[in-house]
């Protein structure tokens, strides 16, 4: 008797999830993940050129803040265009894009150099990116509301 109810609940949950469709749009996820990864590579080129020419790591605090402000601004613009696509659960998609891009990035660096990038700065980058995601969501929502009210 009890197992019949459990089976009915399981079947009902399975059918409701199955008929709702996928929550994640894998095409959008893969395109934006690859794009986000390429943008990160392009933003890192100036630092790589500097380190290749001088053989030194840039230690300036001003450069550090300018670099993170640039990443923040680029993230806001990137996620704004992602949110304009009107996909289901856009913040979930944005977090998955960041996570998959991070996995791709750290795996590639580890396999090419043997260096692990797990550090405090990785957590700081993730926090900045989450702020950019929520800022982009807010901006996109405000622009949609302005268009509706106009």
Distance from C-alpha of 89 to C-alpha of 63, rounded to nearest angstrom: 35
Instruction: Kindly indicate the confidence band of residue 105, based on its pLDDT and cuts at 50, 70 and 90.
Output: confident
SS (H, E, C) 1-61: CHHHHHHHHHHHHHHHHHHHCCCCCHHHHHHHHHHHHHHHHHHHHHHHHHHHHHCCCCCCH
CB 143 within 8 A of CB 87: no
pLDDT of 116-145, one tens digit each?
766 656 777 778 888 888 888 888 888 877
pTM over 0.75: no
Answer whether residue 23 shows pLDDT above 80: no
Distance from C-alpha of 97 to C-alpha of 32, rounded to nearest angstrom: 6
φ/ψ of residue 26, rounded to 5: -70, -30
**What is the reported pLDDT for 18?**
45
């Amino acid at each position: 008797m009890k197992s019949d109810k459990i089976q009915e609940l399981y079947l009902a949950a399975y059918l409701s999830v199955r008929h709702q469709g996928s929550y994640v749009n894998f095409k959008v996820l893969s395109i934006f993940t690859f794009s986000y990864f390429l943008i990160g590579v392009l933003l890192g080129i100036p630092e790589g050129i500097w380190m290749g020419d001088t053989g030194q790591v840039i230690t300036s605090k001003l450069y550090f803040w300018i670099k993170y402000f640039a990443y923040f601004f680029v993230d806001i613009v990137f996620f704004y265009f992602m949110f304009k696509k009107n996909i289901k659960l856009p913040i979930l998609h944005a977090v998955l894009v960041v996570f998959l891009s991070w996995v791709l990035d750290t795996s590639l660096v580890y396999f090419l150099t043997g260096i692990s990038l797990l550090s405090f700065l990785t957590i700081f980058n993730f926090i900045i990116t989450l702020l950019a995601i929520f800022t982009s969501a807010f901006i996109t929502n405000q622009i949609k509301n302005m268009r509706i009210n106009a």
